[in-house]
Amino acid sequence: MDHPRITFIGAGNMAASIVGGLVESGQPATAINASDPYPQSLEKLREIAPVITHADNNSAVDGADVIILAVKPQVMADVCTGIASAVQASGALVISIAAGITIDSMRNWLGDQTAIVRCMPNTPALLGVGATGLYANEQVSEQQRSFAENILRAVGIIRWVDEERALDAVTALSGSGPAYFFLFMESMIDAGISQGLDRETATELALQTGLGAARMAMENNVDLVELRRRVTSPGGTTQAAVENFEAQGLRTLVSDAMQAAAARAETMAKEMG
């Protein structure tokens, strides 16, 4: 099978970014179906590519090889129970991108033997530079694993994890991670302004610095500690700032925040499972 027939349930932000990446990577739009109760979301999706749209989830699932559940965790139970018979009849692979919804919950709603890949992408997928962690249950075949890989690779890098629990750590790191960097850049901009820069200048310098640092970390074959050492002249300005970060417990702060995110993913699984 050259191109699997892919169905998106939910045509929001994440679905739109994955559709964009898929079509760019050669998946024909005519082999993509999407359903959403909100016609405007479907129209927006068709501005990206001429996919086949449905108001009804079951009609979108009909004939699919891969079904991507791209709805909010809160509506997942209703969506899954509503398409369960059609999913069982199709034998399709189900891919969920919802935070904190476990494979056990999905098997309860969809049927025991459903092949499920649970994954956690992030919003840079919108630009094709996402980072996704994936986990497959036993029912997923080799061919279905490669479908899942190709779909998520169309919007960035992918990493399989061996245990489903690890997806909570992936959520805490790369799923929520873009927001941490935005917060850090916001803080740098505010600090620059309070030291006398105008907002536009502070913003431009902070964003370009973020981009430059990320590119250096990815493109130079040098580890982060060494890259940091090269910026930090002994007795200079960077040392003064970094010592302040360390003294105020930046590492503990980051670790505690990521633990809160992972714990929230676990609680969501209990609340919505």
Ligand X SMILES: NC(=O)C1=CN([C@@H]2O[C@H](COP(=O)(O)OP(=O)(O)OC[C@H]3O[C@@H](n4cnc5c(N)ncnc54)[C@H](OP(=O)(O)O)[C@@H]3O)[C@@H](O)[C@H]2O)C=CC1
Query: Which residues contribute to the annotated binding site for NADP(+)?
Result: 9-14, 70-73
Shortest separation between residue 4's beta carbon and ligand A1CAB, angstroms: 26
Angle (CA) 14-101-253 rounded to 5° is: 80
Q: Looking at 175, 189, 202, 262, which residue binds ligand A1CAB (CB under 6 A)?
A: 175
Given a contact cutoff of 8 angstroms between Cβ atoms, the answer to whether 172 and 261 are in contact is yes
Q: Does 20 sit near ligand A1CAB (CB under 6 A)?
A: no
Q: Which residue is nearest to ligand A1CAB (CB)?
A: 175
Which is nearer to ligand X, 106 or 202 (by Cβ)? 106
Q: 121: buried, middle or exposed (CB in 10 Å: 19+, 13-18, 0-12)? A: buried
Q: State how far the Cα of 106 lies from the Cα of 109, in Å rounded to an integer.
A: 5
When CB distances are held under 5 to 8 angstroms depending on the partner's kind, the choice from ligand A1CAB, ligand X, none that residue 7 binds is none
Shortest separation between residue 123's beta carbon and ligand X, angstroms: 4
Q: Which stretch binds ligand X (CB under 6 A): 32-40, 104-112, 155-163, 232-240?
A: 32-40
Given a contact cutoff of 8 angstroms between Cβ atoms, the answer to whether 150 and 31 are in contact is no
Helix (H) or strand (E) holding 53: strand 52-54
SS3 196: coil
User: Which residue type sits at 231?
Assistant: V
Chain residues in the site for ligand X (CB under 6 A): 9-15, 35-38, 41, 57, 70-73, 75, 79, 97-99, 120-123, 175
Chain residues in the site for ligand A1CAB (CB under 6 A): 99, 171, 175-176
